[in-house]
Amino acid sequence: MKSKRMTKSIRTALILLLCLAAVLQQTPVFANKYAEYESVALVDTSNGTVGYYEPINLMIGGEDIFSDAPGIIVNGRALVPISAILTELGIEYTWTQATREISFSYGGKSVVMQIDNTYATVDGVKTLLPDGVAPRVMNYLSVSGDEIARTYVPVKFISGVLNLSATWIDSTRTVAVNKKEQTLTGAYLDYTKTYPEIRLKVTGEVDATSFVISGADVGGQDKVVVDLQNTKVDISGADAYWTESGGVWTYDIYDGIFGLDKVDIEQTGTMPYTTRVTLYQDERRGHDISYDAKTGEMVIRLINTVNDVSVEKIYSTDAVVIETSENPMVQTTLDGDKFYIDVIGSYLHIGDGMKTYMTVNEGKIESVTYEQKKDSYYAPFDDITRITINLTEAVTYDDLYLESDGTAIYVFVTPNPINNFEYVKLDQSTAKMSVRLFEAASYTPTYDAGSRTLSVTLPKSVTDLGDFVYDVDDNVIESFTVEETDRVYKLSAKLAENTVYTETGTATSVAFKFTNTKIRDSEYSDRLIVIDAGHGGKDPGAIGTKAEEKDLTLKAALYLEDVLVKQGFKVYMTRSTDDYVNLYDRASIANDLGADLFVSVHINAHTGATASGIEVLYANESMSSDKGLATLMQDALIDELGAVDRGISSRPRLVVLRETTMPSVLAELGFISNPDEQAKLMTDSYLQRAAEAMAESIMNFLDK
């Protein structure tokens, strides 16, 4: 609800709020930043007073929930904007200004709540709210200067009316709202379905969340982790395939069927109860989760998933990139100015499978649409994701080229841009390149040490390449260039610093292996750093006049990854695209991987445009752990960037710091709300320098 008119006392209170904020420089107005602060200031419209409240996190069904106003603690009771819960659950509600009432219906119940009234009406019955805490309208100023009002209600009452369970997690100031508590009583693998399934017998439907750990990227094992929220484990009656040790139930899959190695089930939380199901993979598999009401089972279905569709410039060519969880089965159809790509046996993990239209207007690509469909033509694998590339003109198959690297499909819209050329990164320090030949040919590689350029000239009669420039920039190779003349192709590879090459070609191929010796031989090669780019996806974080926090944190995190990889570290990103990862999952990923350090990258914000500077947050007070790393990182950032030194700050209740088991810090690299700092944060050079400073502090910490 937006307030169009305000009383003089409330307006005065808001002016007072701004004055206090300018002096104290500690009160954010950005909803998704609230959890990073100890207190927030809001105006109670009942009396016009400014109050400082402890902000809280809100989770529904295991998912972080974001609102343009924070949940708060009032007299020991958790209050949240009612719109945040009702909107998340898809419940329509009505606000009546004349009577200051909010009303909604759910599960056959009709509920009416009135501002400042300690009683609500449920199905016509007058009901006292928990501890007599009445709904209230709280005001604050948004980043745009709008006067915003939100109706706050006790979480305990709303969860009770909606027949949900609410649990307070004191260590991280989190309210977890879930379906009622249930028990997992059994589990089995069903190989008889079109898509193999892990079926979990439960006493009732529960909420489930999941995340994927690409452990093979850093020398571990790939895993799918499914958390059943508010669920106890009691599977003593499971079949003989399950064995129990130390509270973990394991199903070993000795033949590796369907790419699975084993499945583990264990109790990982008690407040609320959380049951974790971990699928250990020999090869990457996609999955989706559902509830089978007929059998009373939660179902983890092993099915390929389409996770993202984007348009990028690759090999100097416009390419549609379709990211999948596993090696896809693909069928294509060209119909004039439309190119259809069907990913067979897949589930669209974007927008609940709804048809989505994406405007492109690049080269010959006008737009791209994608949607979930069923098509009996592909039976039994009739679940498909259909991607349609709408072109500006009718084309032929000669204008299109499609390839897959196992977890992504690339569709190039140009005449055969990369036929017969392949480049594959094998690990952080090595890669290989090959060119397929139609027939044996003689050639002599030349290498210019000054420019670090390896060149090969090939007759056009022995292969088909075409002109292109491929900016790789992966710390092994900087770029590939192919120049085409009437008779020859000149292929040039610009090597990264410290990269050497060996020739591995055959009679029908030109091939080289590349190795960055500095990365391969680094003293840090066994050290794993998890980098967490703050916010992302549905959560923009702090919003400036020209940028959003989620975009700046991702760019800074990618720069930090690049610097650390060049030093030989193993690096894992909690996100490397514009996706959201739940806060508890970010910590779980780092813990599961056994990371040496965890670094979360953020951008600060404030109501006043003059607030500025850098600060690093930590939880553990030990100088050999969080506080020591925070001190070194703060000093390095200030020395490198010359920013205002806001010092280090203890934030022991932040989820990503509290729940990680290794030294962890959260770096606030500046204020997006300050025009001058926002401008700096939007420059690549500034974020690059920040990344180099953070990397320096990491190395100094580990070298101690």
Reported as a pLDDT band with limits 50, 70 and 90, residue 328 is: very high
Whether residues 321 and 287 fall in one domain? no
Check residue 465 and report its DSSP letter. -
Long-range contacts of 371-380 (CB under 8 A, 24+ apart): 372/347, 372/348, 375/342, 378/331, 378/342, 378/344, 378/345, 380/194
Write the pLDDT tens digit of every residue in 616-667.
Answer: 999 999 999 999 999 999 999 999 999 999 999 999 999 999 999 999 999 9
Residue 51: strand pairing partners: 42
Residue 419 has pLDDT above 80, yes or no: no
Domain, as residue range, for 230: 182-301
Whether residues 198 and 347 fall in one domain? no
pLDDT greater at residue 505 or residue 145? 505
266 included as an active-site residue: no
Q: What single-letter amino acid sits at 201? A: K
Distance of CA 628 to the CA centre of its chain: 28
Q: Of the candidates 389, 390, 424, which has an alpha carbon nearest to the alpha carbon of residue 404?
A: 424
Whether residues 92 and 60 fall in one domain? yes
pTM of the predicted model as reported, rounded to 2 decimal places: 0.90
Q: Of the candidates 351, 240, 334, 226, which has an alpha carbon nearest to the alpha carbon of residue 279?
A: 226
Reported as a pLDDT band with limits 50, 70 and 90, residue 238 is: low
Q: Which of 214-223, 337-346, 414-423 has the lowest mean pLDDT?
A: 414-423
Q: Which stretches within 294-430 are classed as H helix?
A: none
Whether residues 100 and 151 fall in one domain? yes
* Predicted pLDDT of residue 3: 33
Check residue 181 and report its DSSP letter. P
Average pLDDT over residues 1-27: 37
Whether residues 408 and 428 fall in one domain? no
Residue 43 has pLDDT above 60, yes or no: yes
Reported as a pLDDT band with limits 50, 70 and 90, residue 257 is: confident
Average pLDDT over residues 170-188: 94
Query: Which CATH number covers residue 672?
Result: 3.40.630.40
Cβ contact 210:200 at 8 Å: no
Residue 235 has pLDDT above 90, yes or no: no
First to last CA, the chain: 54
Average pLDDT over residues 265-269: 95
* Predicted pLDDT of residue 141: 61
- 640: in domain: yes
Query: Which CATH number covers residue 112?
Result: 3.30.457.10
Instruction: Identify the active-site residue in 615, 668, 677, 696.
Output: 668
Structure tokens at 414: 């140009």
Residue 28 has pLDDT above 50, yes or no: no
Write the pLDDT tens digit of every residue in 190-201.
Answer: 988 889 999 999
Average pLDDT over residues 65-86: 87
- To 10 degrees, what angle do helices 684-703 and 626-641 make? 140
Q: What is the DSSP code string of 195-226?
A: S-EEEEEESS---EEEEEEEGGGGTS-EEEEE
Q: Which residue has the tokens 């009771």?
A: 77
Residue 297 has pLDDT above 80, yes or no: yes
- 133: in domain: yes
Q: Which of 84-98, 198-212, 511-525, 648-662 has the lowest mean pLDDT?
A: 84-98
Structure tokens at 125: 């019955």
**Could you check whether the bond before residue 415 is cis, i.e. omega within 30 degrees of 0?**
no
> Rounded distance, CA 67 to CA 441, Å?
64
Number of domains in the chain: 5
| Residue finishing a domain among 497, 520, 543 | 520
Write the pLDDT tens digit of every residue in 430-487.
Answer: 999 999 999 998 889 999 999 999 999 999 999 988 888 889 999 999 999 999 998 9
Mean pLDDT of the chain: 90
Report percent pLDDT > 70 for the chain.
93
Whether residues 23 and 105 fall in one domain? yes
> Rounded distance, CA 81 to CA 72, Å?
9
**Could you check whether the bond before residue 154 is cis, i.e. omega within 30 degrees of 0?**
no
Whether residues 389 and 436 fall in one domain? no
Whether residues 157 and 15 fall in one domain? yes
- To 10 degrees, what angle do helices 549-566 and 684-703 make? 50
- 307: in domain: no
Whether residues 231 and 190 fall in one domain? yes
Whether residues 86 and 34 fall in one domain? yes
* Predicted pLDDT of residue 145: 55
> Rounded distance, CA 204 to CA 651, Å?
37
* Predicted pLDDT of residue 415: 58
Ranked by mean pLDDT, the top range of 214-223, 412-421, 652-661 is: 652-661
- 698: in domain: yes
> Rounded distance, CA 591 to CA 242, Å?
25
> Rounded distance, CA 51 to CA 629, Å?
34
Whether residues 684 and 557 fall in one domain? yes
Write the pLDDT tens digit of every residue in 599-616.
Answer: 999 999 887 889 999 999
Structure tokens at 84: 């945040």
**564, exposed or middle or buried, with CB in 10 Å at 0-12, 13-18, 19+?**
buried
Average pLDDT over residues 183-192: 91
> Rounded distance, CA 388 to CA 409, Å?
13
Could you tell me the CA-to-CA distances from 242 to 57, 186, 187 in Å, in that order? Answer: 37, 10, 9
Could you tell me the CA-to-CA distances from 676 to 18, 143, 272, 298, 572 in Å, in that order? Answer: 20, 16, 44, 52, 32
Contacts of 642 (CB under 8 A, 6+ apart): none
Structure tokens at 88: 């998340």
**Three-state secondary-structure class, residue 125:** strand
| Residue finishing a domain among 133, 160, 178 | 178
- 306: in domain: no
Q: What angle do CA 132, 138, 144 make, to 5 degrees?
A: 165
> Rounded distance, CA 590 to CA 487, Å?
53
- 36: in domain: yes
- 626: in domain: yes
Q: Of the candidates 385, 391, 392, which has an alpha carbon nearest to the alpha carbon of residue 370?
A: 385
Query: Which CATH number covers residue 476?
Result: 2.60.40.3500
Q: Which of 37-41, 293-297, 359-363, 544-548 has the lowest mean pLDDT?
A: 37-41
| Residue finishing a domain among 520, 554, 576 | 520
Whether residues 152 and 39 fall in one domain? yes
